[in-house]
Amino acid sequence: MNEIERVAAIEEIKQAKACYFRGVDTSDGDLVRSILAEDCVLDYRGCCTDPKSGQDFLPAMNVVMRGAASWLSDGLARAGIVSVHQGHTCEITFTSETTADVTWSMTDRLFMPPGAPFSCMTGYGHYHETYEKTGGRWKIKTLRISRLRVEAT
């Protein structure tokens, strides 16, 4: 991969992640599925657990999704949750011409429906992902979230 191809790949990966965040926050399942590899593995276990206290604020989120088709169009919205994801900086390491390891720093806020035990959960941490270029496009192959802090108010 030459330097121009590398810079183009970095931008494509950033655009794919932006689509993931927008798709999740707007409940656009088609958009999210469009940037997932067909055989992806999305591991959300522990994604709402504060590492210091050990409290899991949303145990129902402890799932592993396998395959792009497993993504639900409106999972959070159906539960009455409004999410706001913000991706910050990323570290991208190409492991081949068509694969990359990526770590994104992130903050997310989940606004809960009336009657929930808390009104808002804010999480800070990292997405750890692998990407694969298939069909000329960079797609998310694997995903897991690690947390630095999770708090609910």
Backbone phi, psi, residue 106, to 5°: -155, 160
pLDDT (tens digit per residue) in 81-120: 999 999 999 999 999 999 999 999 999 999 999 999 999 9
Q: List the CATH number of the domain containing 100.
A: 3.10.450.50
Where on the phi/psi map is residue 59: left (φ > 0), alpha (ψ -120 to 50), or beta? alpha
Length of the chain equals 153
Domain span including residue 65: 3-152
Integer angstrom CA distances of residue 50 from 4, 24, 69? 40, 21, 29
**How many Å separate Cα 95 from the centre of its chain?**
20
Only one residue has tokens 């409106």, namely: 74
Q: What are phi and psi of 84, to 5 degrees?
A: -135, 110
Q: How many domains would you assign to the chain?
A: 1
Q: Which residue has the tokens 């997405």?
A: 127
- Give the count of beta carbons closer than 10 Å to the beta carbon of residue 105: 15
4-38 pLDDT, tens digit per residue, is: 999 999 999 999 999 999 999 999 999 999 999 99
- Model pTM? 0.94
